[in-house]
Structure 1
Amino acid sequence: MKFIPFYLIFTLLIFVQACGNKQVEENKTQREQVIAVHDEVMPKMGQLKSLEKAALQKAEELQNSETPDQAKIDELKNLASQLNLAYEGMFVWMRQYNTEDGEKTPEEVKVYLDEQLVLVSKVNEDIKAALAKAEVLLKD
C-alpha cells in the first residue's frame, strides 16, 4: 500500500517527461522550418542591392533624357525603395531572431517560433515580390 503513491508519482513524472520531450522535438523541427524559410532567400540579398542600383540608374537615365517619362521614373524609384525595404527587412528580422531558448519553457519556445515563422515568411514574400517586380520593370 505504501508503494502505490510512489508508483503513481513515478508514472506521472515519466508521462510529463515524455510530453516535454515531444514538445522539444517539435520545437526543433519548427526552428528548422524558420531557418529554411530564411535560407531560401538569403542568397538573393546581393541581387536585391544590384537591382536597386540598376533601378536607380535607369531612373536617372530617364530623368536626363530629352523626354523624361515621369511615371516610369517614379515607378523605378518605387521599385528601388521596395528592393531596399526587402533587403533591410531581412536584417531587421535577423537582428531580433534569438537562436537560444534561454529560460523559456518548451511551450514558450513554441509560441516564439510560431511568431518567428510568420515574420520570416513575410520577409521571404517581400523579397520574392520585389525581385519579381524588378524582373518585369528592368527587363529591357
Structure 2
Amino acid sequence: MKKHILLLTLAFAAIVTSCKEEKEATQMKEVIAVHDEVMPKMGQLGQLVGKLKERENDSTDLGKEYREARIDLQEANQAMMDWMQNFGDRFSPDEIMKGKELSPEKQEWLDEEEEKVKALREQINSSIENAQEVLAVDNDTTS
C-alpha cells in the first residue's frame, strides 16, 4: 500500500514538473514568435526612416510630421535592439532554443519579457503605420 502511494506521488510530481516545463517552453516559443513576427519589419522601418529624412527639411506642418514619424521609427528600432540585448543577457541559448528549465526568478523574467515584447510589437507596428500614413498624405498632396 505504501509503495502504491509512493508511486502515485512520484507519478504526480513527474506530471506536474512536465506540465511546468511545457508551459515554460510554450511561453518561450510565444515570446520568440512575437520577436520573429516583427524582426522582418526592421528593414521596412529603415526604408521609411530614409524616406522621411529626405522630406523632413520641409518647414511646413508636414515637415514636422515627417520628423516626428522618423523619431518614432528610430525609437522603435532602438527599443527592438535594447529588447534583444536584454533578452539575450537574461536567458541562455539552451533556455531560449532548447527549452531548458527556468529557475523561478527566470520564469518571472520570462513573464516580464512576454509583456515587453508584446508592447514592442505594438510600438513597431504603430510607428510603421503612422509613417506610411504621413507619407501617403504627402503623396496625396503632390498628386
What TM bracket, shorter-length normalisation? Answer: 0.7 to 0.9
Question: Over aligned residues, Cα RMSD in angstroms?
Answer: 2.0
Gaps in structure 1 of 5+ consecutive residues? 63-67
Q: What is the percent sequence identity of the aligned residues?
A: 29
- Choose 1 or 2 for highest CA Rg: 1
1:49 aligns with 2:46: yes
Counterpart for residue 112 of structure 1: 109
Distance 1:103 1:28, change over 3 A: closer
1:103 shift after superposition: 7.7
1:11 aligns with 2:8: yes
Deviations 1:23-46 (A, max 9, x none): 101111111111111111100101
2:123 to 123, 126, 136: 126
CA distance in 2, matches of 1:135, 1:49: 12
Q: Match of 1:58, as an amino acid?
A: R
> Following superposition, which runs of at least 4 residues in structure 1 exceed 6 angstroms of deviation?
none
CA distance in 2, matches of 1:110, 1:103: 9
Q: Match of 1:34, as an amino acid?
A: V
CA distance in 1, matches of 2:19, 2:106: 13
CA distance in 2, matches of 1:109, 1:83: 30
1:78 aligns with 2:68: yes
1:87 aligns with 2:77: yes
**TM-score, scaled relative to structure 2:** 0.79
Gaps in structure 2 of 5+ consecutive residues? none
Q: Match of 1:81, as an amino acid?
A: I
Distance 1:48 1:38, change over 3 A: same
Q: Match of 1:37, as an amino acid?
A: V
Q: Match of 1:83, as an amino acid?
A: L
